[in-house]
Amino acid sequence: MRVELDGRVALVTGASRGIGLAIARALAQNGARVMLTARKPPVLAEAAAEISGGLADVDGAGEVAVFAAHAGSPEGAEAAVAATVERFGGLDILVNNAATNPYAGPLIDIDLPRLDKTIEVNVRGPLVWTQAAWRARLREHGGTVLNIASIGGLKHGGPLGAYDMTKAALIYQTRHLATELGPGVRVNAIAPGLVQTDFARYLWTGAGPEADYGWALGRIGQPPDVASAALFLVSDAASWITGEVLVVDGGSLLGPRLAPTPPPTAAG
């Protein structure tokens, strides 16, 4: 799928591996100039080198640069946005992808440090990065924001109550900001299901990429499955879509795949 992003400038948080790396690569392959951010400079540098190496053979490809910043930090957000504008001359697309999940267990038992960290990175982070992008560029020039949420924010139950609560808040933030930032800025979210990255390793370790998980499309997701949806939502192909949450989960939210229903017999 080729999407026209020539000349657009994008900033992606959590872009050094997993889903963020796949989104950054897809944006650059489709002509965008992309600033990759995460905390660890050496891993970021490797990610940028890997993307750049793959762009050499792609017609109309963009380019990438890196800036190290903590996704929960307002100062980091402002500095990353400023570095993006300085390096590429603007900012049109913000992808709030970085998140953390330091706790699994009953929500009622979570300790305050881990609760605060989860909220800081997963809810406050996307808001302060969106504020920084809005104030520096988007308010005046327009653009689009994409938040990476989770199907956990659309259901309840299970051991990730604190994380899922922050993703539900991010979905609220997405819909609410869509009403505040339009018509110049579109704000959407993707709610991925289980994707084979480090983040969710404990949920898939031991199962191969083709293992059947029992949901409609069977297999676990791969980062490019989310990246292609991201590409669509930040492009002009989605120019009348805002405040939307696109579930990308192979059908897992629907529940288990059903056995085919036998046709009715002649006797009824």
Ligand X SMILES: NC(=O)c1ccc[n+]([C@@H]2O[C@H](COP(=O)([O-])OP(=O)(O)OC[C@H]3O[C@@H](n4cnc5c(N)ncnc54)[C@H](OP(=O)(O)O)[C@@H]3O)[C@@H](O)[C@H]2O)c1
Interaction mask 142-161, ligand X, x per CB under 6 A: ------x-x-----------
Under DSSP, the state recorded for 252 is: G
Q: Is 156:164 a contact under the CB 8 Å cutoff?
A: yes
Task: Determine the interface stretch with ligand X among 69-77, 102-110, 137-145, 173-181 (rule: CB under 6 A).
Answer: 69-77
| Binding status of residue 85 toward ligand X by CB under 6 A | no
Contacts of 99 (CB under 8 A, 6+ apart): 14, 71, 121, 122, 125, 148, 163, 166, 167, 199
Q: Kindly tell me which residue out of 3, 9, 17, 230 binds ligand X, with binding defined by CB under 6 A.
A: 17
Which SS3 state, helix, strand or coil, does residue 197 take? Answer: coil
Nearest-angstrom CA–CA distance, 254 and 257:
8
Residue 14 CB, shortest distance to ligand X, in Å, is: 3
Backbone angles phi, psi at 11, to 5 degrees: -130, 125
| Binding status of residue 165 toward ligand X by CB under 6 A | no
Count Cβ atoms within 10 A of the Cβ of residue 42 and give its class: 0-12 exposed, 13-18 middle, 19 or more buried: exposed
Q: Kindly tell me which residue out of 64, 98, 145, 238 binds ligand X, with binding defined by CB under 6 A.
A: 98
Active site residue 103: no
Residue 32 CB, shortest distance to ligand X, in Å, is: 18
Which are the catalytic amino acids? 163
For binding to ligand X (CB under 6 A), which residues are involved?
13-20, 38-40, 43, 70-72, 97-100, 121, 148, 150, 192, 194-195, 197-200
